[in-house]
């Protein structure tokens, strides 16, 4: 969800019209974000790169909110982003998983006691931070986005893999320190 959502956010911020997002039920947890190919090569490179650092970036955002004591805000922002994702969802497995995740976050944000909200916000932040690394390691240098970036830039896929891995590990270190050393 966060990977494809990050592609969609990048596309929208770079001026592309996002048509739809697809999430598949397969061992690789694959998906796709379909956007109009506008803006040239640099826009395509940025949009392709952002997907793999998306979960970690969202995790950093949640960790920063938690660090500053905005725990319930982290839950409501998560719900808002899931709502946007659902709005962009093409008929796929995402029509099951996104509403389930959004429903759970809503119940926690609206009805759960403060302790449960705190645990949920921390769990979401850690989940996003760690799934960023897991996504990179699971797909390895042979990822579809790595192939696309290699074609666009002539930089080998393994370099993109190492950049993504370094970025997600740095996000775990920074976000983890914010969560552990909460002010």
Q: What is the pLDDT along the chain (183 residues), one digit of tens a residue?
A: 888 889 889 888 888 888 888 888 776 667 888 888 777 788 888 888 998 899 999 999 999 999 999 999 999 999 999 999 998 887 778 888 899 999 999 999 999 999 999 999 999 999 999 999 998 998 888 888 889 899 999 999 999 999 999 999 999 999 999 999 865
Number of residues assigned to the chain: 183
pTM of the model: 0.89
- The predicted pLDDT at position 142 comes to 86
DSSP H or E stretch at residue 79: helix 71-88
- The predicted pLDDT at position 180 comes to 93
Report the DSSP beta bridge partners of residue 32. 22
Q: How far apart are CA 29 and CA 24, in angstroms?
A: 6
Q: How far apart are CA 44 and CA 153, in angstroms?
A: 10
Q: Which whole-number Å values give the CA distances from 96 to 34, 77, 99, 119, in the listed order?
A: 19, 20, 6, 24
Q: What is the DSSP string of 9-56?
A: HHHHHTTPPEEEEEE--STT--EEEEE---SHHHHHHHHHHHHHHHHH
What residue spans define the domains of the chain?
A: 2-180
- The predicted pLDDT at position 132 comes to 92
- The predicted pLDDT at position 81 comes to 93
- The predicted pLDDT at position 37 comes to 78
Phi-psi region of 40 (alpha: psi -120 to 50; beta: other; left: phi over 0): left
- The predicted pLDDT at position 183 comes to 52
Q: How far apart are CA 120 and CA 111, in angstroms?
A: 12
């Amino acid at each position: 969800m966060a990977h494809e959502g990050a592609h969609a956010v990048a596309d929208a911020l770079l001026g592309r019209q996002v048509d739809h997002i697809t999430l598949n039920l397969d061992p690789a947890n694959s998906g796709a974000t379909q956007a109009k190919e506008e803006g040239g090569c640099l826009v395509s490179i940025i949009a392709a790169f952002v997907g793999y650092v998306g979960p970690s970036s969202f995790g950093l955002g949640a960790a920063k909110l938690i660090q500053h004591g905005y725990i319930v805000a982290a839950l409501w922002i998560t719900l808002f982003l899931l709502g946007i994702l659902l709005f962009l969802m093409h008929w796929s497995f995402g029509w099951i998983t996104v509403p389930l995740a959004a429903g759970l976050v809503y119940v926690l944000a609206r009805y759960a006691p403060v302790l449960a909200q705190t645990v949920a916000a921390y769990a979401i932040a850690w989940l996003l931070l760690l799934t960023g690394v897991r996504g990179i390691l699971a797909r390895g240098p042979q990822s579809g986005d790595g192939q696309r970036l290699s074609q666009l830039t002539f930089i080998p896929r393994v370099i993109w893999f190492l950049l993504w891995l370094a970025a997600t590990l740095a996000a775990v270190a920074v976000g983890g320190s914010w969560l552990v050393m909460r002010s």
